């Protein structure tokens, strides 16, 4: 949780322009880690925020979700993909099974105009087991191992040094402290989000150069 980076490094890790990030935040299309609507502090980001942003982009590009829907799912299922990331860091390919964040598109039911989907995570065979009995039209898989490779490649390209691991597993020293830090960070982020919402309710909207 102390893996905080400035805005410039964050933008280089996710490879988006400042104006693009601001627009995505404004429209609800920006995904941040730990289920947060905003980073806890202005101009400071977690490395895990970069993971969340890349995951949302990959769900948009490869899984058929609109960017806002992708960001919503990344926020909703933050603990699930964090678990996948923890496994991917400790059990790399090709000696171990790939970890997936999957979008299973279900067949249309009478009266529905849009296809429904389910979010399922884990190894491919576990996802297949979870979907047994469902009327699945198609399933799109996003590899967490691939996401992690992209993140580290972006960091190397931008000359940004990342920690050897971004996560702590539940049987490793420091895990309970890590989870406590996560909860504290979520509270700070929520407080900032509520304060911004309250301020907007009191004052007319103003054009701002940055919204993150």
| pLDDT, tens only, 29-45 | 999 999 999 999 999 99
User: Domains in the chain: how many in total?
Assistant: 1
**Cα distance between residue 29 and residue 69, in whole Å:** 8
- Parts of the chain with a pLDDT under 70: 1-2, 109-115, 201-212
**Burial readout 151-182 (b: 16 or more C-beta within 10 A, e: otherwise):** beebbeeeebebeeebbbeeeeeeeeeeeeeb
Q: In the prediction, which pLDDT does 200 show?
A: 73
| pLDDT score at 209 | 37
**What was the pLDDT predicted at 113?**
57
Q: Evaluate whether residue 159 is within a structural domain.
A: yes
The token duo for 196 is 């911004």
- Kindly report the pTM of this predicted structure: 0.89
- Domain, as residue range, for 190: 4-93+144-202
């Amino acid at each position: 949780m102390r893996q905080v980076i400035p805005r410039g490094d964050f933008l280089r890790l996710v490879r988006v322009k400042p104006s693009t990030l601001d627009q995505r935040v404004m429209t609800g299309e920006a995904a941040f880690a730990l289920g947060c609507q905003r980073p806890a502090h202005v101009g400071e980001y977690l490395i895990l925020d970069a993971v969340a942003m890349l995951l949302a982009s990959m769900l948009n590009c490869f899984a058929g979700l609109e960017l806002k829907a992708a960001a919503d799912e990344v926020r909703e299922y933050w603990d699930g993909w964090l678990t996948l990331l923890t496994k991917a860091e400790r059990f790399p390919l090709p000696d171990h099974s790939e970890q997936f964040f999957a979008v299973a598109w279900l067949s249309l039911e009478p009266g529905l105009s849009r296809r429904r989907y389910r979010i399922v995570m884990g190894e491919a065979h576990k996802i297949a087991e979870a979907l047994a009995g469902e009327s699945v039209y198609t399933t799109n898989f996003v590899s967490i191992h691939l996401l992690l490779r992209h993140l580290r490649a972006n960091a190397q390209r931008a000359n940004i040094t990342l920690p050897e691991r971004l996560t702590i597993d539940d049987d490793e020293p420091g895990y309970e402290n890590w989870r406590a830090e996560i909860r504290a960070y979520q509270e700070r982020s929520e407080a900032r989000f509520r304060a911004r919402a309250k301020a907007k309710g009191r004052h007319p909207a103003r054009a701002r150069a940055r919204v993150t």
